[in-house]
Structure 1
Amino acid sequence: MTNPAEIIPGILFYSYLSTVRKDKVAFMEHNTLVLQIAGHFSLQTASEQVSMGPGQMLLIQKNQLGELTKTPVDGQDYQTIVITLQEDMLRKIALEEQIELGQKYVGPQNILIPGNDYLRAFFQSIIPYVRHPDEKITHTMGVLKVKEAVHLLLHTMPELEEFLFDFSEPYKMDLERFMHSNFHYNIPVEKFARLTGRSLAGFKRDFQKIFGMAPRHWLQERRLAEARHLIETKHKKPSAIYLDLGFESLSHFSYSFKKKFGVAPTETRGDLESKKNTIQAL
């Protein structure tokens, strides 16, 4: 089976692998429910880190950036089931159940869900769809399984109502602080705008006022500055940091670094300092 497998398009996924995998950038666009079957899962965002092992369940809030690490344990393959709780489906449930919320959810963004017989039985009921993804009934049952998941979550933790049915737009947050915390994520400028609660035009306008340059230019400069810091002071190898800093390839990183600083990132700290002193003397 491919990894990850999309069992029901956009709704139900099954992840399986036998070696450690780290996804440098994950944009959680929808509320997401994750069941860990085997192995260890961790999520690192700018503000928190959460992890879980076999049998645990995690509810992840929408509109987050993070790094996912999936680790097999004790010789067993890593396995997890992921259900995305898309907003259009949650809106339908809110209408059916006459749920009305007037305020924005401000609690934890990632919540470990206590296990119970209902939720365990629910995930067991999904296994046949994982094993037979091509069956016609799999797609027919997708919507019903999502509704069932939502009702069971509310039965387990009624306070999740505010979490699940918050349809407000993101608050217009502190742009400078957000960008300094998340500059290393390789995502389109449009998503940075959305995550800070701005239109693309508003984001670019506010960005210019704060940083004095366009977003793409600032991101390149900020990432290269961080790369130089890591190479000079932490003695990191370029091959170990370029992905973490949002560069798509080592060759692109090396080219950009040399264009900015005049030396290749593989050169020594002394070479970098010498070049710096030469530039300052001119």
Structure 2
Amino acid sequence: MESNLNKIPPEAFVFTIGAEKKKESDRFLSESILAMQLSGRLTLETNTEKIVMTPGDILLVCKHQFVKVTKTPVDNENQEAVLLTLKEDILRNYALENQIDNNGKYNGQLNIPIPDNAFLKGFFSSLIPYTQNHKNVGTPLSTIKVKEAIQLLLFIKPELKKVLFDFSEPHKIDLEKFMLSNYKFNVPIESFAKLTGRSLAGFKRDFQRTFGVPPRQWLQMKRLEEAYYQIEEHHKKPSSIYLELGFESLSHFSDSFKKMFGIPPTRLLGKK
């Protein structure tokens, strides 16, 4: 059965994602996640790297980034992974309890493979029952399990202290450079604002000043221009690129393309 992260209850701290057929989606991560792949293949793509998880792989995916998630069943076996949200309030509490002082901002690798470890695999096995019914998991119990994960990570890789306990907000960064690298991700405008270190109002104001048009208008125009290039120069089929360019359906993509360029994308492809 396919699952949708958007439908996960806000109180959930651990959950599974799965798919019976290949499926792609874009995510903005406001909190770090520890993931273990159970079956099939899970591909994570950011604007700088691509990571493929196979059964048994464990990955720490850091907060404050856009991720394209591709869930792929393999050899008639559904894709399934268990994910644990490392909630920031629990991380802060752990740092206070253990007198961990980390004032520096982490600027290293954002997706960190965790070595094969029997302790962590046993820990993930203990999480499976919690994924069955989120309502039965109270805050005290979820706090215990997240703190257990923190202790195991620090035991396996002590240098993760700099990652786990970085509570700084994203710095205000170059808006134009950031948007040109990340415009393909289909996430809310609020997520773009957060990662550029701006309030929503400040983001819209700076965006208008930089690009001369509102964010939503620019995003659609930029994605359609990229689609035109991919179809004309690389002969890509519309059905193979609309998702990776941030469109939720092929029909919406085709209608928007025709409205902007005057012809449907299939006709442009047919000219080749």
TM-score of the superposed pair, with normalisation by structure 1: 0.87
* Partner AA of 2:62 in structure 1: Q
Counterpart position of 1:18: 20
Q: CA deviation at 1:129?
A: 2.9
Counterpart position of 2:11: 9
**CA–CA separation in structure 1 for the residues paired with 2:130 and 2:21:** 24
Query: Matches of residues 156-195 of structure 1 in structure 2 within 5 Å?
Result: 156-195=156-195
* Partner AA of 1:180 in structure 2: L
* Partner AA of 1:100 in structure 2: D
Number of matched pairs: 270
Q: 1:107 to 1:201 in 2, by over 3 A?
A: same
Contact 2:258 2:265 in 1 (8 A): yes
* Partner AA of 2:232 in structure 1: E
Contact 1:7 1:129 in 2 (8 A): no
Query: Matches of residues 195-210 of structure 1 in structure 2 within 5 Å?
Result: 195-210=195-210
**CA–CA separation in structure 2 for the residues paired with 1:215 and 1:2:** 31
Contact 1:7 1:13 in 2 (8 A): no
Contact 1:41 1:53 in 2 (8 A): yes
* Partner AA of 1:197 in structure 2: G
Contact 2:35 2:83 in 1 (8 A): yes
Q: CA deviation at 1:156?
A: 0.8
Contact 2:29 2:64 in 1 (8 A): yes
Counterpart position of 2:32: 31
Structure 2 residues not aligned, in runs of 5+: none
Q: 1:118 to 1:236 in 2, by over 3 A?
A: same
Helix, strand or coil at the partner of 2:42: strand
Q: CA deviation at 1:160?
A: 0.6
Q: CA deviation at 1:7?
A: 8.8
Contact 1:8 1:139 in 2 (8 A): no
Aligned-pair identity in percent equals 49
CA displacement, residues 169-219 of structure 1 (integer Å, 9 cap, x when unaligned): 112222112111111112221111101111222222322232222212211
Helix, strand or coil at the partner of 1:70: strand
* Partner AA of 2:12 in structure 1: G
TM-score of the superposed pair, with normalisation by structure 2: 0.89
* Partner AA of 1:233 in structure 2: E
Q: 1:266 to 1:73 in 2, by over 3 A?
A: closer
Moved more, 145-154 or 12-21: 12-21
Structure 1 residues not aligned, in runs of 5+: 273-282
Q: 1:134 to 1:208 in 2, by over 3 A?
A: closer
Are 2:249 and 1:249 equivalent residues in the alignment?
yes
Q: CA deviation at 1:239?
A: 2.6
Counterpart position of 2:60: 59
Helix, strand or coil at the partner of 1:22: strand
**CA–CA separation in structure 2 for the residues paired with 1:269 and 1:42:** 29
Q: 1:2 to 1:211 in 2, by over 3 A?
A: closer
Q: 1:174 to 1:119 in 2, by over 3 A?
A: same
Contact 1:42 1:69 in 2 (8 A): yes
Q: 1:245 to 1:8 in 2, by over 3 A?
A: closer
CA displacement, residues 133-187 of structure 1 (integer Å, 9 cap, x when unaligned): 3783676522211111111111111111110111101122221121111111122
Q: 1:149 to 1:94 in 2, by over 3 A?
A: same
Q: Which runs of structure 1 show a deviation greater than 6 angstroms over 4 or more consecutive aligned residues? A: none
**CA–CA separation in structure 1 for the residues paired with 2:201 and 2:135:** 45
